[in-house]
Amino acid sequence: MKTKIPHAIDRQGHCGTHERPPQMIMLLMALWIVLCAPGCDTPPPAKAPTTQAPSEIPAGYHPIAGQQPLKDPTTQAPPAKAPIAQAPIKNGSGTLLEDAQQKSKKLLPDMPQEEVRTLLGEPDETAATTFGSATAHPWNGVIWMYRWHTDFRYDPYRVNQQPNFTWLLQIVFEKSNDGWVVNSWNWSR
C-alpha cells in the first residue's frame, strides 16, 4: 500500500501529489520524533531585556539537531582572516625583489658596472648587442638582466589572478673611457 503526500516537491522542483511507500513515512516520522520531539515542549529560557534593536530571529525558534541556528543580526561579525603571507621572492643571485626595487632607485647614468654589481648582485643573464644601428652613430652595449619569478596563489589586491609572472630589470651599459657605465635601465613585468 502506498500513501499519497499532497504538495510534495519532486526532484525537478515541481509541486504535486506523490506517492511514498509506508516504510519511508515511518522512517521519517521516527527520525522527527528522535530529533524534534524531546525539545518541542520545553519553552526557551528567558533572556534579560536588552537595549539593542529587536532581533530578526523568530520568537520560539529552536534549531533541531544538526541544524545551524539562525544568526542574530545584532552580534558582531567574526574578524576577517589575514591574507596569506607570501614567501620572499629572490632572483638567481639571492637579491630580494623588494630590495632590488628600492636599490634600483639609486641607479644613475654613467654609474660604473662594479657599483651596479655591488648594489644589486650578479645578474641572472647577460647579453651584448649593437644599439643605434639605424643611426649614424651605432654603439656596442652590454645588457644585464635580473629576473624574479613569482607564483601568487593568493593576492587580495588583484581581481584577475595571474598564476605566474616575471619581474625583469634590464640595465644597459655602454663603453666609456673609464670602462662599462650605465646608459639606461628599465623595469618590466
Here the cell at position 60 is: 520560539
Which of 10-14, 59-63, 123-127 is most confident? Answer: 123-127
CA–CA separation, 2 and 185 (whole Å) = 83
78 — pLDDT class (breaks 50, 70, 90): low
Model confidence at 46, pLDDT cuts 50, 70, 90, reads low
- By percentage, how much of the chain surpasses pLDDT 70? 49
As a whole-number percent, the residues of the chain with pLDDT over 90 amount to 37
pLDDT (average), residues 107-133: 95
Torsion, CA 151, CA 154, CA 160, CA 162, rounded to 10: 10
Residue, of 18 and 27, whose pLDDT is higher: 27
Query: Which residues are bridge partners to 50 per DSSP?
Result: none
Element (H, E) at 128: strand 125-131
The domain ranges of the chain are: 3-39, 97-154+163-188
pLDDT in tens, 30-40: 766 766 655 55
pLDDT range class, residue 125, cuts 50, 70, 90: very high
CB 109 within 8 A of CB 91: no
- The closest of 103, 121, 116, 105 to 182, measured between CA atoms, is 116
Question: Which of 140, 100, 98 shows the shortest CA–CA distance to 117?
Answer: 100
Q: Tell me if the pTM is above 0.75.
A: no
Supply the pLDDT for residue 144.
Answer: 97
